[in-house]
Amino acid sequence: MNSQKMISTRDLTKTFGDFVAVNNITFDVRQGEIFGFLGANGAGKTTAMRMLCGLSIPTSGEATIAGYDVYKETEKIKQNIGYMSQKFSLYEDLTVAENIRFFGGIYGLKNGEIKARSRELINALDLNDQKDLLVGSLPLGWKQKLAFSVAIFHHPKLVFLDEPTGGVDPVTRRQFWDMINQASEDGITIFVTTHYMDEAEYCDRISMMVDGYIRALDSPAQLKKQYNAESMDEVFYELARGAKRTE
């Protein structure tokens, strides 16, 4: 396995009947990189992400995730990645501690390990007073920070974050990115989608999907240069306004 490339795809394609949801996408993500996966609604991001997480078998093309094949080694992929989205992250009717224990177990950690890491995590998030509260009663910002910590609790090589900061207040949104940066420094590769264009700036590289294709892929600075744009917002607008498809 190539340890330099956490994600590697070649002409990855997914069709539903006549509809080409993802059309020959080719890209690599390096270990430790923060990779922003952007695109308009309906561009094919969710379908692509499902293939990368081992949840959907591609129609054609190749891809390896953490060195594992997306056709044959989907179970291996699931054990080696973390996943968090705005919509699904934690069980609201379990407590903080129960959620951590549950996900630790799901990811196959041993009891002793779960206990030790739980203590560490609860201390790091300063949740000692809240650890026996139901997650449903926590403010959204805390929930999202806890959800991210749980998604990387088993020390995956790669974590997928699907609009992790949607609806979160501006202070918490920044704290969340502090956590992302820390995880990246610890060597975890970050694959993230967002509708906030300022967050696109925090990524090492960005891909822009339009109508199933990856239309642009580079660092934010290079993309702005290439499209002669002041901000990522302008780059996005320039690329996405020609889109034929909507969600």
Partner 1 sequence: MWDIFLQSINKSYTESGEKAVNDVSLHVEEGKLFGLIGPDGAGKTTLFRILTTLILADSGTASVGGYDVVKDYKVIRKSIGYMPGRFSLYQDLTVKENLRFFATLFNTTIQDNYGLIEDIYKQIEPFNDRKAGKLSGGMKQKLALCCALIHSPKVLFLDEPTTGVDAVSRKEFWGMLKNLKSKGITIMVSTPYMDEASLCEEIALIQEGNIMSVNTPDEIIAQYPDMLYAIKSPGMNQLLQELRKSELVATANSFGEYHHITFSKQGSMELLLKSLHRSDVEMKPIRPTIEDCFIHLMTHE
The site for partner 1 (CB under 8 A) is made up of 39-42, 139-141, 163, 166-172, 174, 177, 181, 195-202, 220, 231-233, 236-237, 240-241, 243, 245-247
Least separation in angstroms between residue 228's CB and partner 1 is 15
Least separation in angstroms between residue 202's CB and partner 1 is 7
CA distance 34 to 79: 20
Least separation in angstroms between residue 177's CB and partner 1 is 7
Taking a C-beta distance cutoff of 8 angstroms, is the pair 63, 77 a contact? no
**Structure tokens of 92?**
């609201």
| Residue 213 CB partners (closer than 8 Å, separation 6+) | 23, 24, 25
Least separation in angstroms between residue 58's CB and partner 1 is 24
Nearer to partner 1, 112 or 185 (CB): 185
Taking a C-beta distance cutoff of 8 angstroms, is the pair 135, 90 a contact? yes
Nearer to partner 1, 63 or 168 (CB): 168
Nearer to partner 1, 1 or 129 (CB): 129
Which residue in this structure is represented by tokens 């995880």?
Answer: 183
Least separation in angstroms between residue 45's CB and partner 1 is 10
Q: Is 230 exposed, middle or buried (0-12, 13-18, 19+ CB in 10 A)?
A: exposed
Least separation in angstroms between residue 240's CB and partner 1 is 5
Nearer to partner 1, 97 or 243 (CB): 243
Q: Is 209 exposed, middle or buried (0-12, 13-18, 19+ CB in 10 A)?
A: buried
| Residue 212 CB partners (closer than 8 Å, separation 6+) | 20, 21, 22, 23, 43, 44, 245
Least separation in angstroms between residue 181's CB and partner 1 is 5
Nearer to partner 1, 214 or 240 (CB): 240
Nearer to partner 1, 126 or 247 (CB): 247
| Residue 111 CB partners (closer than 8 Å, separation 6+) | none
- The DSSP secondary structure of 147-174, one letter per residue, reads HHHHHTTT--SEEEEESTTTT--HHHHH
Nearer to partner 1, 13 or 86 (CB): 86
The residue count for the chain? 247
